[in-house]
Chains A and B, each alone.
Chain A
């Protein structure tokens, strides 16, 4: 692999700028004449706007301009879109309600934007925003999905009676019902997947710059996919044609899904820059982020899992209600359908599966993909059900899982997915060995002696990553193809620039993508620059989410490298008067195999650009591009084991051990992959123990609108983690990569909940398992 090649834990090239305060995030950007924006937002969860009076605010000191929704509409700026069409089981299309970037008729959640104030300073903009008088007619609000479906509830959009967006199904209902009818045992459970706020540490920000001389727009933004942002803003929002719009996502401080979407603020700031004639910068504060960043999860599901006499699963029936908030965000329809129900087979051979999913409007901020996006919901549902079943059947949770594992590949599930490779037993064994599963009873007894209740739980997850084969997702309703592009530009001196459509916001692409080049050509990674995040520099890309940068983004780089290598070999063969097939590349040199003839890499590059002596008919230069469209999803899988101690007097849970055994396929940089797992587990632990978005059901006010009430995982909430890998290469992409970005967040919540319910002897416990809830559940059990 070489010290900087594939498989090496290379320290990150990008770290120095972050460590020395030289990172360049959107809010760090400053341009001449720049002014500051503050948004006037609805304080009500549901209200009709009777009038907006800007007069007092417009006279405030420092105010440049105040713009409202009517003007936006007059300028024909489009509605926010949802990019994935889902049809209900009756064949009708999903019911899209209009989402205006600035509401001018109805507001539907606390935080819905109504107007933008642009002023000399942020303080003045905020002062003036408080002086904007909006006369609201307050309407009743509903925040819970189950309730919103009931008769007589507040109606959010006229297009969607009873707030139902779609009623969708997958799988074979009749076969599943038959299996349940014939089962020796049926485990039934109702589970809630709690609503989360993604909380990347960098709040969203945008800087809109309109150049009247060129009639050109530049948008700096905190985006995971700047090209998609440009495409959507051009094609749907009518901000500017693509050739007149440059989108730059510079250093981005975490995303976790929440920075995929094109939010109202980006559109409005660009438009406001043209209207006011000044560059307009908006930076979200944390409370605003809680109010307006797309949330994640929020499902309620009932599950029936049917077993035969031999404890083999013969059927799985799931009914899910998903809260999508007040409007349909970009991927919101795909998350509780194709990213969720297609994973309901888990690691198990289940002959019959049926899932029904209803999605619902409520007076809450839109819900969309958050780390894992659908797959954590599927895994939580399956793995809590499996654990419950094992307890009901009186068998060990490991045995029940082993008995039902998929063991031959490829394996076609009844819910679309075709698993290509894996070894679930290997991860289970590794995790159990690492956790000293067999020594648990002794540890439990020792803890009991200290008055503590100790429990252990496992979770076997699978996810579909490498999103996604374009034709496949197109047939399922996606509005875009999910390929990736790359361009490899070899300079005349042999240094290399790689343009990628993937976007790094913590994942370390500047290092791992460079490792591919080091591995291929044997040149130092310092001679390689990875360029991303700027639509003027990179032709096109679909961005980073769904653990796709390795499997899809890197595969595109490999395709481009293949072309570069082939051309370089042709040039080298010509220069060394050898046969092209005899040229090998080693340690930065092109050699004629079996001879002592060599050419350094840079000389071949130079020859390509001097073009004095190229093979007949060859174009000068050494630069190649490629688009890679995957042929299948990838299927990372693994087994997580969590051990906890519960303090019965306070209900406080301490994680005493956390083991993760993952199969990510081939790994480019183990250090970075482990970092991804650590972070994912922490977010999963957050979901299981700490985090919960809570709206007041009476009035739709967001109660958890800051870190005072939304519990973020801190260092002392977590242990150090024990990781291992059992990798089976992915057969569908050239690097054999499966992806690692979301696994931790997917696999960990059920492991933790299974451990706590084991400790307290009560399975009736919802996430987050706060001390109060655990204490109550413990009392109920006694």
Chain B
């Protein structure tokens, strides 16, 4: 990787200050994407501000059905939280299938969300759960947060401090992994609330990144069952196509993963 300067932040304020004083600074959480990208010399931040050690960014709090997860909470800690498992096992299951055990020990929810990789898992969950991304400056709804491939609504210097959502009555995530990278080639998160509100969010497949599937949401709102999705379609023109999966094949996977997620929810 190119040369860089490492800084360790002791607080959110400290982190923001360190980053603002750097020319091309980046926040470094678990580093599972950022360091990997820097190794390939595809990213070259002049300064890294390590937020992994900030007290107060690693927590999972559950009050009633309200969930709040600190930005520096690792995938492993999300996956193995009994409190979370009790009210939203889908998010634990999702976290348990991110990367591999070693990546889960380092990678964080905040880092994953801020990076918005089109094949990452968390964005699908946050969109389907109507989560709020809490930053040091404001709260941003997931629908407004994910703005495109690797693009988010975060402003320069803005830092995610927590993710918050209300646990739905039913939810599940099903993904089909890329045989090589093991990232989601298509992942679908479904969530249903007692109000009848249904959300279906798809990752790994969309040409513009994570997206909600209106057709499936309407069908499931009528009839919450895998069969309700039999007629659902996804326009391949809106989907990614690569060496491993054409957009037509991804359209099929969107349907199949959605059905399996509903069945599992």
Contacts and interface: CB of A to CB of B under 8 A. Distances in A.
Are A and B in contact, CB atoms below 8 Å, in the complex? yes
Interface of A: 123, 126-127, 649-652, 690, 694, 703-704, 707-712, 714, 770-772, 775-776
A703 B243 contact: yes
Contacts of B86: none
Interface string B152-183: 00000000000000000000000010011110
B180 A772 contact: no
B180 A708 contact: yes
B252 interface: yes
A771 B1 CA distance: 35
B179 A704 contact: no
A770 B181 contact: no
B181 to A, nearest CB: 4
B1 to A, nearest CB: 7
A127 B2 contact: yes
Interface of B: 1-3, 41, 176, 179-182, 243-246, 249, 252-253, 256
Contacts of A776: 249
B181 A707 contact: yes
Contacts of B243: 694, 703-704, 709
B115 to A, nearest CB: 15
B252 to A, nearest CB: 7
A754 B180 CA distance: 23
Contacts of B181: 707-709
A127 B44 CA distance: 12
B176 A770 contact: no
Contact of A711 (B2, B41, B180): B180
A710 B180 contact: yes
Nearest to B179: A711
Contacts of A123: 1, 3
A775 B179 CA distance: 14
A650 B176 contact: yes
A770 B253 contact: no
A775 B244 contact: no
Contacts of A772: 244-246, 249
A772 B41 CA distance: 32
A504 B188 CA distance: 47
A585 B232 CA distance: 80
Given A708-B181, A709-B180, A709-B181, A650 B253 contact: yes
B2 A649 contact: no
Contacts of B253: 650
Contacts of B245: 772
A137 B126 CA distance: 49
A690 B179 contact: yes
A714 B179 CA distance: 9
B97 to A, nearest CB: 12
A276 B246 CA distance: 51
A650 B180 CA distance: 16
* The 8 A-B residue pairs with the shortest CB-CB distance in the complex, in nearest-first order: A711-B180, A711-B179, A708-B181, A649-B256, A772-B249, A709-B180, A772-B245, A690-B179
Given A771-B179, A771-B249, A775-B252, 20 more contacts: A123-B1, A123-B3, A126-B41, A127-B2, A649-B252, A650-B252, A652-B176, A690-B179, A704-B180, A704-B243, A708-B180, A709-B181, A709-B243, A710-B180, A711-B179, A714-B182, A770-B244, A771-B176, A772-B244, A775-B249
A770 B246 CA distance: 12
Contacts of A710: 180
A714 B256 CA distance: 24
A712 B180 CA distance: 6
26 contacts: A123-B1, A123-B3, A127-B2, A649-B252, A650-B176, A650-B253, A652-B176, A690-B180, A703-B243, A704-B180, A707-B181, A709-B243, A709-B244, A710-B180, A711-B179, A711-B180, A712-B180, A714-B182, A770-B244, A771-B176, A772-B244, A772-B245, A772-B249, A775-B249, A775-B252, A776-B249
Contacts of B180: 690, 704, 707-712
- Which of A652, A704, A710, A771 has most chain B Cβ within 10 Å? A771
B102 to A, nearest CB: 14
Contacts of A770: 179, 244
Contacts of A649: 252, 256
Contacts of A709: 180-181, 243-244
Contacts of A126: 41
A771 B178 CA distance: 10
A196 to B, nearest CB: 14
Contacts of A712: 180
A633 B72 CA distance: 61
A60 to B, nearest CB: 12
- Which of A123, A649, A690, A694 has most chain B Cβ within 10 Å? A649
A553 to B, nearest CB: 36
B54 to A, nearest CB: 29
Contacts of A127: 2
A652 B186 CA distance: 14
Nearest to B246: A772
Contacts of A694: 243
Nearest to A710: B180
A126 B252 CA distance: 44
A707 B41 CA distance: 17
Contacts of A651: 249
B127 to A, nearest CB: 23
Contacts of B3: 123
Contacts of A652: 176
B99 to A, nearest CB: 12
A171 B151 CA distance: 62
A771 B256 CA distance: 13
A776 B245 CA distance: 11
B241 to A, nearest CB: 11
A722 B173 CA distance: 35
Given A708-B181, A711-B179, A650 B256 contact: yes
Contacts of B1: 123
Nearest to A694: B243
Contacts of B41: 126
B100 to A, nearest CB: 9
Nearest to A649: B256
Contacts of B244: 709, 770, 772
Contacts of A650: 176, 252-253, 256
A185 B16 CA distance: 78
Contacts of A771: 176, 179, 249
Nearest to A124: B3
A291 to B, nearest CB: 14
- Which of B179, B181, B244 has most chain A Cβ within 10 Å? B179
Nearest to B182: A714
Nearest to A285: B39
A650 B41 CA distance: 35
A763 to B, nearest CB: 21
A650 B181 CA distance: 18
A776 B250 CA distance: 12
Contacts of B246: 772
A39 to B, nearest CB: 15
A485 to B, nearest CB: 42
A90 to B, nearest CB: 40
Contacts of A690: 179-180
A645 to B, nearest CB: 16
A38 B243 CA distance: 30
A264 B245 CA distance: 36
A489 B251 CA distance: 68
Contacts of A707: 180-181
Nearest to A717: B179
B28 to A, nearest CB: 18
A121 to B, nearest CB: 11
A714 B249 CA distance: 23
B258 to A, nearest CB: 11
Contacts of B182: 714
B33 to A, nearest CB: 12
Nearest to A130: B41
A120 to B, nearest CB: 14
Contacts of B176: 650, 652, 771
